[in-house]
């Protein structure tokens, strides 16, 4: 009896250990028959105002298939020469988003084109399972001071944060990049230095005109020129009279 109970317990434990794997595999088998939705909502980063009438482009770059190890990706024909690795994880897919966008433009891959509505939302329903590239117009509407939105990659289905649930309705809220406009006349600190060179530290009202040649006159210091010749002549006369007086006295 104890042996039978022991065998039953072992069987129970074995089934318990494999239960999560079979549940996950069953979910994947069921997922292959499902379809999903893609919803893209575009809003301004500052006022959270919906951006309507904005073009959204969606490319399918890989399909998803079941395998013993879980989901397996297969690159679609349009992107078979894009250098993609079917075994890439989400981070690797995202890092290739810009390169994939350029590849699609160069090779003129035809996308699914959507337009955001008044709520800023563009929705693609009844999507087959797979990996999708989402891109946008390179230029935002003229009335919006934004530079645009970077492309990104999403998957249908994707796994929830706890890793236990597959989600088929994908909602994305891409980040709108803000444009930083440079002034038309950028400030140059050297301009202030050049302006200061043309200014006097102590402005005066008597600055001479550089184009005017001054008259050949002595500055008015209180000394007049006319007494100089008079005094010179007077000195000569007095000296002459004194010399004559001395000479006459010697004769006597």
Give residue-wise pLDDT tens across range 4-18: 545 443 443 333 333
What share of the chain in percent tops pLDDT 70? 56
Give the neighbor-by-neighbor strand order of the sheet with 169-172. Answer: 121-127, 36-41, 169-172
pLDDT digits (tens, 9 = 90+) for 194-227: 555 555 554 555 555 555 555 544 444 444 555 6
Q: Calculate mean pLDDT across residues 33-53.
A: 90
Structural Rg of the chain based on CA atoms: 48
Strands (E), the chain: 36-41, 55-67, 70-75, 112-115, 121-127, 130-136, 146-149, 152-156, 158-159, 166-167, 169-172, 176-178
Average pLDDT, the chain: 74
pLDDT of residue 54: 92
Q: Calculate mean pLDDT across residues 185-194.
A: 58
Q: Which helix (H) or strand (E) holds 29?
A: helix 2-31
Is residue 80 scored above 50 in pLDDT? yes
pTM of the model: 0.59
Q: Which of 85-89, 102-106, 158-162 has the lowest mean pLDDT?
A: 85-89
83: left (phi over 0), alpha (psi -120 to 50) or beta: left
Q: Calculate mean pLDDT across residues 61-81.
A: 83
Q: Calculate mean pLDDT across residues 60-74.
A: 81
pLDDT of residue 107: 95
pLDDT digits (tens, 9 = 90+) for 17-35: 333 333 333 444 445 678 9
Task: Say if 92 falls within a structural domain.
Answer: yes
Q: Calculate mean pLDDT across residues 228-243.
A: 67
Task: Say if 187 falls within a structural domain.
Answer: no
pLDDT of residue 144: 75
Helical spans, DSSP H, in 53-188: 90-95, 97-106
Q: Calculate mean pLDDT across residues 224-236.
A: 62
Is residue 57 scored above 70 in pLDDT? yes
Domain span at residue 138 reads 28-178
Task: Say if 118 falls within a structural domain.
Answer: yes
Indicate the Cα dihedral angle 246, 247, 251, 252, nearest 10°.
-30
pLDDT of residue 15: 36
Looking at the structure of the chain, the number of domains it has is 1
What tokens appear for 8 in the block?
């039953």
Whichever domain contains 115, its CATH number is 2.60.40.10
Is residue 106 scored above 80 in pLDDT? yes
Task: Say if 198 falls within a structural domain.
Answer: no
Task: Say if 239 falls within a structural domain.
Answer: no
Length of the chain: 252
């Amino acid at each position: 009896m104890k042996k039978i109970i022991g065998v039953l317990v072992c069987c129970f434990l074995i089934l318990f250990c494999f239960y999560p794997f079979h549940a996950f595999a069953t979910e994947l088998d069921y997922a292959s028959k499902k379809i999903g939705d893609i919803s893209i909502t575009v809003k301004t980063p500052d006022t959270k105002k919906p951006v309507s009438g904005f073009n959204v482009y969606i490319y399918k770059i890989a399909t998803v298939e079941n395998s013993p190890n879980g989901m397996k990706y297969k690159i679609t024909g349009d992107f078979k020469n894009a250098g993609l690795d079917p075994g890439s994880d989400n981070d690797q897919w995202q890092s290739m988003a810009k390169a994939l966008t350029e590849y699609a433009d160069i090779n003129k891959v035809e996308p699914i084109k959507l337009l955001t509505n008044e709520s800023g939302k563009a929705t693609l329903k009844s999507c087959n399972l797979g990996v999708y590239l989402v891109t946008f117009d390179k230029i935002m509407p003229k009335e919006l001071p934004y530079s645009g939105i970077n492309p990104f990659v999403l998957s249908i289905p994707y796994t929830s944060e706890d890793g236990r649930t597959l989600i088929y309705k994908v909602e994305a809220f891409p980040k709108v990049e803000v444009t930083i406009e440079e002034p038309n006349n950028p400030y140059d600190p050297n301009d202030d230095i050049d302006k200061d060179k043309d200014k006097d530290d102590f402005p005066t009202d008597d600055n001479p005109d550089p184009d005017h040649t001054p008259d050949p006159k002595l500055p008015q210091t209180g000394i007049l020129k006319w007494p100089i010749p008079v005094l010179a002549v007077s000195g000569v006369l007095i000296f002459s009279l004194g010399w004559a007086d001395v000479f006459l006295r010697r004769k006597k």
